Amino acid sequence: MIFTGLKKKRIQKVFEKTIRKSKQIGQSTMDGSVEKIGVLIDEETYLKNDVEYLLQSILGIDTSHIQIFIMRKFKKKDKPSDIHFTVKDFGWIGEIHNQNLQNFLEIPFDLLINFDAYNNLYIKYLTLISKGKFKVGYAKTDDRLYNFMIVHKEDDLKTFISELKKYLKILNKL
Q: Which among 157, 166, 118 is positioned nearest to 39, based on CA atoms?
A: 157
- Backbone φ/ψ region at 119: left (φ over 0), alpha (ψ -120 to 50), beta: left
- Cβ contact 69:85 at 8 Å: yes
Alpha carbons 34 and 12: distance in angstroms, whole number: 31
Question: Between 66 and 20, where is the model more confident?
Answer: 66
Confidence (pLDDT) at 3: 66
Q: What is the dihedral of CA 129, 90, 84, 167, to 10 degrees?
A: -20
What mean pLDDT, rounded, does the chain reach? Answer: 88
Residue 25 has pLDDT above 80, yes or no: no
pLDDT (tens digit per residue) in 119-173: 899 999 999 999 999 999 998 888 888 999 998 877 789 999 999 999 999 988 8
* Domain boundary assignment for the chain: 2-170
Q: Which among 124, 27, 125 is positioned nearest to 138, based on CA atoms?
A: 124
Confidence (pLDDT) at 32: 78
Residue 78 has pLDDT above 90, yes or no: no
Task: With 0.85 as the threshold, say if the pTM is over it.
Answer: yes
- Cβ contact 100:84 at 8 Å: no
Mean pLDDT, residues 39-47 taken together: 93
pLDDT band at 75 (very low <50, low <70, confident <90, very high): confident
E strand or H helix at 160:
helix 157-170
Confidence (pLDDT) at 79: 81
Alpha carbons 40 and 10: distance in angstroms, whole number: 22
CATH architecture of the region 2-170: 3-Layer(aba) Sandwich (3.40)
Confidence (pLDDT) at 23: 63
Question: Between 1 and 63, where is the model more confident?
Answer: 63
- For helices 121-129 and 99-106, angle between their N-to-C axes, nearest 10 degrees: 50
Confidence (pLDDT) at 24: 46
- SS3 percent helix, strand, coil of the chain, rounded to 5, is 45, 15, 40
Confidence (pLDDT) at 19: 84
pLDDT band at 37 (very low <50, low <70, confident <90, very high): very high
